[in-house]
Amino acid sequence: MKIGLNCYPGVGGSGILATRLGIEFAKHGHDVHFITYERPFAVQGIDQENVHIHLVTVLEYPLFKYPPYTVALGSEMVRISKNEKLDVINVHYAIPHATAAYLNREITGVPYVVTLHGSDVTILGSDPSYHPVNNHSVEQADAVTAVSDFMRREAYERLGVEREVKVIPNFVDSDIFKPDVCDSDIVKQENETMIIHVSNFRPVKRVPDLIYAMKIVTKEQPNAKLLLVGDGPDRHSVERLIDHLNLSRNIRLTGFRSDVANLMRCSDIGLLSSETESAPLTLLEGMSSGLPMIATNVGGIPEIIENGMNGVIVPPKNPEAIANQIINLIKDPELRTQLGTKARETILEKYTSEKVVNEYIKVFNDVING
């Protein structure tokens, strides 16, 4: 099958998911054509014969205050659909990708599948400045998928979508993210408990909540260490807060790391404090690594974590609740092991690449065969 894949190529979860999916499609023998404005972050360094990258050229012109990206993307989709004889295009994150794919189908007849991820539905998609065109482009798609049941409900309730939306969950490479020997330059002392948080430091991740939680935790457990992995808009304010609360001995910021799987393996507890999420990849990665994850009770998270069984759920915007659960897990290594083991089992049962890739391929086949 010749599959066009379109996404935001940066470090956002939807782009990472789409690129990991593309790599998996290619491993299954399909021809994959990424159509994006730059080489996707997650395919850097991956050279597979049947993975092709086509970059969208956005022409600047003095008249334009806002260069018309949707027209440029649609035009590149048309070029690739015709030249490569694509069977289907799968766009990740609806705005504006679904509209470009809709235009492409008008011109070339190539069907498109929209995958809904997050703010393309919850915030932007429902805003009047985007809603009429975005809604139409989603409604008219040959198939629509969402990464969680929460996202599907949001599509109905916020976007006003009336058509069928199929839930295909996100996935994690359980061979990369797996419990194993810790092999990293970031080594903890024997009496320390290492807690890890990985994110893009956007306000929605509420990283400061973790810092306030650590202030409480370290009063009782001075050997608790928090590793903050990643980078983004809140990083500087988080650094200042750590200094202000005198926590630099207990919290370390690593910036971007390419060895997240290793860092997770070297940790004892994972944390996610977001105020909303549809199906967070870092949660799946932590669980796949056998970590007991503490995560907020928002969006699609309760679909993945069953509280007290394969992880711990806490109310959002509540550092004290996070702190209490961290302390509880520090004191109870047996519970950590129990939750981590169940977490890994959950991943192997529901969130493997094999399972998810097959579901996407089935949707594509159904679309192609009408």
Q: Which of 76, 154, 268, 277 binds ligand GMT (CB under 6 A)?
A: 277
One of 111, 118, 286, 311 touching ligand GMT (CB under 6 A)? 118
Pick the closer one to ligand GMT by CB: 8 or 102. Answer: 8
- Find the part of the chain contacting ligand GMT (CB under 6 A) among 6-14, 41-49, 138-146, 177-185: 6-14
Tell me the two tokens of residue 342.
Answer: 């169940």
> Is residue 296 close enough to count as binding ligand GMT by CB under 6 A?
no
Name the 3-class secondary structure at 248: coil
Name the segment binding ligand GMT (CB under 6 A); options: 14-22, 41-49, 175-183, 359-367.
14-22
Residue from 279, 295, 343, 357 binding ligand GMT (CB under 6 A): 279
Length of the chain: 370
Which run of H or of E encompasses 312?
strand 312-314
Q: Using the rule CB under 6 A, is 280 a contact of ligand GMT? A: yes
CA distance between the termini of the chain: 15
Stretch 50-109 residues interacting with ligand GMT (CB under 6 A) = 93
Q: Where are the alpha helices (DSSP H) in the chain?
A: 13-27, 69-84, 97-108, 119-122, 131-139, 149-157, 207-220, 235-244, 260-265, 281-288, 301-304, 319-331, 333-350, 353-368
What minimum distance in Å lies between the beta carbon of 274 and ligand GMT?
A: 7
| 67 C-beta neighbours (distance < 10 Å), count | 12
Burial of 138 (0-12, 13-18, 19+ CB in 10 A): buried
**Residue of 281, 291, 339, 357 interacting with ligand GMT (CB under 6 A):** 281
Least distance in Å: CB of 119 to ligand GMT?
Answer: 4
Which of 13, 22, 286, 316 contacts ligand GMT by CB under 6 A?
13
What DSSP line would sit under 167-205, residue for residue? Answer: E----B-TTTS-------S----TT-EEEEEE----GGG
Indicate whether 117 belongs to the interface with ligand GMT (CB under 6 A): yes
CB neighbours (10 Å) of residue 249? Answer: 10
How many chain residues are in contact with ligand GMT, going by CB under 6 A?
Answer: 20
Largest CA distance in the chain: 65
Binding residue for ligand GMT, selected from 145, 193, 267, 276, defined by CB under 6 A: 276
Q: Which of residues 176-215 bind ligand GMT (CB under 6 A)?
A: 204
- Return left, alpha or beta for 93; rule: phi > 0 is left, psi -120 to 50 is alpha, else beta: left
Per rule CB under 6 A, is residue 19 in the interface with ligand GMT? no
Residue numbers of the site for ligand GMT (CB under 6 A)? 8, 12-15, 17, 93, 117-119, 147, 170, 204, 276-281, 299
